[in-house]
């Protein structure tokens, strides 16, 4: 193969496997196939744990696993090989080395790693199977909303740190308190602080299995106080995440609005071109189509209203000196 | 009957059954009657499942069911017939075909469908009865806040997708982990991953029945970690929905405010006419009366304040050249 | 007593018992005394239910109850008598009649009513005792944040309506579904739809006592799906309330800000007078002192920044024609 | 030692132990060492409660405790001694007295107090050990997000007051109601209102252990209603806290934005100096680096957009008289 053919092939692979702005039928089919394979893999892991499903089809499960590893390994190698097309001017091996350390590539490696490890080290088969579940993480690549959620998690990590810190304080305090109070009445259940922690976690998260319950009056009062405090705290991360998500999305909407205003300021460029520009900005910001349309309409309306206000003002004031005309 | 009489009758039916901007005593009574019938139907389904209530009044329950089907079928046919009045210029059958595929019409069909199916196919009686509960969905038509909630659900579907995706990952991971760890100690309860999923769901949603509980130390530690992670996630959809609802309402308020400002810009049109206009906008946006009044007051106040600021400014600056007067 | 003395006495009673803008040592002691009495009453109701506490002190509990009724009745009559001072120009009995129908007066009546009813009708003693708990509602008068919460509840009633409507649909659907699926396996527990509702409520609210649990695979799958849906919904009212509360408070802050700007526009009125004005506005809006101070500082700072910006602009542009000076 | 040496030593201690704007390698190591010691102390308390861990290493635990007290006491004394460097002009002992009453110093005192008390009073050993957990509070000093959370808790105390007030009303009402209804069927479990409160708390917080459950139909209906009401309320504090946290952070961001705008108005001061200024403002407001950078970029962009808009306007309007150029 000539160097040119290789180059064209590599570009073709890159476009259909990795390039997100390249949107062809083939690239979509590749995505669908990989998503399906990941989901089938997860289903297989679950099914293999059921003896009545596993034993009759042992061979088929093995074949499917071999097929999956082959596909995922090929995917990994092709990505590794074609990533250089992302920036044709950069150094090939430098780019590949950067890619290998990217989160996406690490997830891909984790997805196939354990299967290869098995050749050298003998791992407990059952444990090995479950490790295959890491393949689920490969899905992250295909869902924009997942990535936004991760970004929010990262942005709000300060708040989460505080919540986890308080949660730990609460758990330690609760388990120590209940240990002091209930140890005499139920020496086995509340034998030590670490053992009491099970009660603390089950109670503070409001799961409340009912396997460990305070029975003394003091224990019940302590339990009640801790539960009331805990309830508020346990739901806090969800609240922070929800508010953070809403803020992130509204920030992105504002960003889109601002960019759109900037475009409109340039004057009457033909609309079709703008449409493409807005679409690409929308994708970049991970917003949905409807939201983008709402924003565009909103901006155009506000501009119209401003214009009207200016016109009304002009009617009432002299445009030459600003003096009122009455 | 002359064509004219039919036309007038059809308009009369349309106005009282379907036209939301037509607000007469009769149309309100029709609404109340249908709401009551729906609720009574649901009550009947529930009552029929209690043997001591059902057997003595078997005949009456049957009569009531026949009466309900008759009413709902008539309602469906009348709606189908009179929908053409919505847009008298459009093609009659085209409009009817569009109506048939609308969500409201589909719900109406589902409400009566199973009863008719019963004539041809013999369905398990108990199952058939429960299908009648779909009639509850007919209520959606009568509650504005329900529709807003559905719109928010639709708008935030990206976030929900992400949450459900993570929830599935968590459930799969949790059940696989607990299966690995607890399978030896409790081979029956944690027999396979699918069986362990029951524990995972019950724990992650903080229901915590207590029928399946980890008993090994490793299982308890894993359970504690998963519970703490899960608690945050389980409450997330509620948080997203609540924030989304608040945003949707504030957006609608802003919309109303903007439209109101646009009206005010037109000049001093007589107030009574504006009142009607605001009222119709309010209904269109699904806001409550109080909220609309608050907005109107707010806008008028802001305009007054702006005026005052301009007057103060004028006092201090020459209105002809903008030069400061001191 | 001369009419003048009566008038002065009535004003004195009105100021110390009802007038909120009157802030004397006596009025505060009256408030503290009534709050204490209400709390002691609640404590007494709780204590009376414990046999070992009640029987030895039966007489004392009776005396305390008689004393409480006497005080609350006197309070009610004094309020009834002195309310006319609220608007000295209005018709006395008209004002009293309006007061009687006000929520506050109705709560006061409910607090003493059952005790008097007991003279005529013989009510079950235990039930009568618990009715005394209504006296707790009298506390509403003394907590501003309680009133704000009630206002938010009222404003968001549309959203709550929707949530309760969906919750009812979910409960009815869940209980009917589980009844269909589990009735065969557990004919006693899931005997009928109303009986299954207990399971539905306990599960959807994530309480999960564990007394009623699906045991069939179909029942567990249905239970899992319903739980996941329900978890989101059950926490929704809290989310709506929290967002509503935040919005209400921020709206009140904006209101304060706007009013403060209006005052500042009037020019340099002496600061002390403004302080009193701001304080009275703050109380009217139910905000805390710190919040009000923050707003005042914020407004003054923004005004200062605007001034600076104008000065900078003036430096760069000719103030006579707006032409740039470079 | 000369007075000068002492002074320099005191400043050195102050900078490395207390001065937050002093950022040297040593000061960071001191922080890390103290954080580690606190965490090890907590771990020791937990470990001592496990008999199989405690008895073999009894001596070591005692030595570690003595070492910890020594370090914490030294830390307290050094802080007490060096705090005067915070404001060299103020009165030394006055400053120390103010420091002693500060929350941070009180926490430090509580952390070492019980150990010293033990010399004079003989306290139950187990209780004394648990008191050591207060040392966890010392961590507050090292986490900015913790402090923000406490500030939000303080700001929203009005809302929390209302929620706790309603929660108490609900608990009292629920336990009284269930006591009335279930007392006959389960005289032991629902013996009195205080005993019924355990059920009320466990249910309203959705913990639902399942040890106490209503069994009569009336009890179940009451329980269902109370649970539905309670679920909304129990998650309310979390919602309020989450919204409050989000508002606090956005307020701080706005504060940073405003200050940054103020700096930019001053003109083109050299960028490096501004960088330091922004950094110190960022730390003061407890924001993260990324957030600060986002704000700076946002402000610069907005200013750029405003400039562009002005330029466009100038192109279309005569800059001398404001008349439109078409």
Is pLDDT above 60 for D324?
Answer: no
A185: closest CA of chain D, how far (Å): 16
Angle at D20 between CA D17 and CA D25, to 5 degrees: 65
D217: closest CA of chain B, how far (Å): 14
Verify whether the Cβ–Cβ distance B231 to A208 is below 8 Å. Answer: no
pLDDT at D56: 92
pLDDT at D320: 54
pLDDT at C148: 77
C-alpha to C-alpha distance for C208 and A210, rounded to whole angstroms: 10
pLDDT at A273: 58
The residue ranges of chain C whose pLDDT is under 50 are 326
pLDDT at C68: 92
pLDDT at D70: 92
Closest partner residue to A208 (CB to CB) among C208, C238, C242 is C208
- The torsion angle over the Cα atoms of residues A173, A178, A184 and A190, rounded to 10 degrees, is -90
Verify whether the Cβ–Cβ distance C231 to B245 is below 8 Å. Answer: no
**Tens digit of each residue's pLDDT (9 = 90 or more) over C139-176:** 877 777 677 777 888 877 777 777 777 788 888 989 99
Query: Which residue from B101, B96, B106, B99 is spatially nearest to B134, judged by alpha carbons?
Result: B106
D149: closest CA of chain C, how far (Å): 16
Interface test with A, best of D38, D171, D204, D246 (most A CBs within 10 A): D246
A246: closest CA of chain C, how far (Å): 12
Query: Which residue from A61, B22, A236 is spatially nearest to D245, judged by alpha carbons?
Result: A236
Is pLDDT above 70 for B29?
Answer: yes
Chain B residues near residue A309 by CB distance under 8 angstroms: 265
* Token output for A307: 């214009």
The residue ranges of chain A whose pLDDT is under 50 are 326
Verify whether the Cβ–Cβ distance A208 to B203 is below 8 Å. Answer: no
C-alpha to C-alpha distance for C231 and B208, rounded to whole angstroms: 12
Confidence of residue D122 (pLDDT cuts 50, 70, 90): low
Query: Which residue from A46, A49, A44, A17 is spatially nearest to A30, judged by alpha carbons?
Result: A17
A139 and A130 Cβ atoms separated by less than 8 Å? no
pLDDT at D1: 58
Closest partner residue to A210 (CB to CB) among C206, C210, C242 is C210
A-D CB pairs within 8 A amount to: 143
Chain C residues near residue D206 by CB distance under 8 angstroms: 205-208, 234
* Token output for D67: 């070492």
D191 and D150 Cβ atoms separated by less than 8 Å? no
What does the buried/exposed string (b/e) look like for A127-145 if buried means 16 or more CB atoms within 10 Å of the residue's CB? eebbbbbbbbbbbbbebeb
Q: Which of B256-270, C230-244, D26-40, D266-280 has the highest mean pLDDT?
A: D26-40
**Tens digit of each residue's pLDDT (9 = 90 or more) over C44-62:** 989 988 889 889 998 999 8
**Tens digit of each residue's pLDDT (9 = 90 or more) over B193-250:** 999 999 999 998 888 898 999 999 999 999 998 888 777 676 677 777 777 877 787 7
SS3 A54: helix
Chain B residue with Cα closest to C242: B242
* Token output for C213: 């649990």
* Token output for D311: 């330029």
Chain C residue with Cα closest to B207: C206
Verify whether the Cβ–Cβ distance A227 to D211 is below 8 Å. Answer: no
pLDDT at D200: 92
Instruction: Work out the burial of residue C89: count CB atoms within 10 Å of its CB; fewer than 13 is exposed, 13-18 middle, 19 or more buried.
Output: exposed
Phi, psi of D317 (to 5 degrees): -120, 145
**What integer best gives the mean pLDDT of chain B?**
81
pTM equals 0.82
pLDDT at D270: 53
D107 and D134 Cβ atoms separated by less than 8 Å? yes
**Tens digit of each residue's pLDDT (9 = 90 or more) over B31-85:** 899 999 999 999 998 998 888 988 999 899 989 988 999 999 999 999 999 888 8
Query: C74-79, long-range: CB within 8 Å, 24+ apart, which pairs?
Result: C75/C17, C75/C34, C75/C108, C76/C105, C76/C108, C76/C109, C76/C112, C78/C13, C78/C17, C79/C17, C79/C18, C79/C105, C79/C108
pLDDT at A274: 63
* Token output for A266: 């340039």
Is pLDDT above 90 for D189?
Answer: no
What does the buried/exposed string (b/e) look like for D158-187 if buried means 16 or more CB atoms within 10 Å of the residue's CB? bbbebbebbbebbbbbbbbbbbbbbbeebe
pLDDT at B313: 61
Give the chains touching B; criterion: ≥3 Cβ pairs < 8 Å: A, C, D
Verify whether the Cβ–Cβ distance D210 to C209 is below 8 Å. Answer: yes
Chain D residues near residue A245 by CB distance under 8 angstroms: none
D233 and D166 Cβ atoms separated by less than 8 Å? yes
Verify whether the Cβ–Cβ distance B211 to C210 is below 8 Å. Answer: yes
C227 and B226 Cβ atoms separated by less than 8 Å? no
Q: What is the rounded average pLDDT of the residues D190-196?
A: 90
pLDDT at B271: 54
ipTM over 0.85: no
pLDDT at C228: 82
D220: closest CA of chain A, how far (Å): 19
Residues in chain A: 326
Angle at B251 between CA B246 and CA B253, to 5 degrees: 95
Contacts of D260 (CB under 8 A, 6+ apart): D278, D281, D295, D296, D299
**Torsion over CA: B195, B199, B204, B205 (sign):** positive
How big, in percent rounded to 5, are the helix, strand and coil portions of chain B?
A: 80, 0, 20
C90: closest CA of chain A, how far (Å): 46
Chain B residues near residue A139 by CB distance under 8 angstroms: 165
């Amino acid at each position: 193969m000539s160097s040119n053919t290789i180059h064209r092939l590599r570009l073709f692979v890159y476009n259909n496997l990795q390039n997100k702005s390249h949107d062809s039928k083939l690239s979509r089919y590749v995505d669908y196939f990989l998503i399906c394979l990941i989901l089938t893999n997860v289903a297989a892991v679950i099914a293999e744990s059921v003896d009545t499903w596993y034993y009759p089809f042992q061979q088929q499960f093995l074949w499917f696993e071999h097929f999956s590893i082959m596909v995922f390994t090929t995917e990994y190698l092709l990505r590794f090989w074609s990533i250089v097309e992302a920036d044709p001017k950069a150094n090939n091996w430098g780019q590949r080395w950067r890619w290998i350390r990217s989160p996406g590539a690490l997830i891909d490696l984790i997805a196939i790693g354990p299967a290869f490890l098995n050749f050298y080290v003998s791992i407990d088969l059952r444990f090995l199977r479950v490790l295959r579940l890491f393949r689920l993480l490969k899905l992250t690549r295909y869902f924009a909303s997942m990535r936004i959620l991760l970004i929010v998690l990262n942005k709000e990590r300060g708040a989460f740190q505080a919540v986890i810190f308080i949660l730990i304080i609460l758990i330690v305090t609760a388990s120590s308190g209940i240990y002091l109070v209930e140890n005499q009445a139920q020496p086995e259940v509340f034998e030590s602080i670490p053992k009491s922690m099970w009660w603390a976690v089950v109670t503070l998260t409001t799961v409340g299995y009912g396997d460990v319950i305070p029975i003394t009056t003091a224990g019940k009062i302590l339990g009640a106080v801790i539960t009331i405090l805990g309830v508020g705290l346990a739901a806090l991360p969800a609240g922070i995440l929800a508010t953070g998500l809403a803020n992130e999305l509204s920030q992105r909407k504002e960003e889109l609005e601002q960019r759109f205003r900037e475009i409109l300021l340039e004057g009457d460029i033909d609309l079709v071109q703008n449409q493409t520009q807005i679409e690409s900005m929308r994708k970049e910001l991970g917003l949905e189509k409807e939201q983008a349309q709402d924003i565009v309409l909103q901006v155009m309306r506000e501009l119209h209203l401003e214009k009207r206000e200016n016109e009304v003002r002009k009617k009432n004031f002299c445009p030459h000196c600003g003096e009122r005309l009455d």
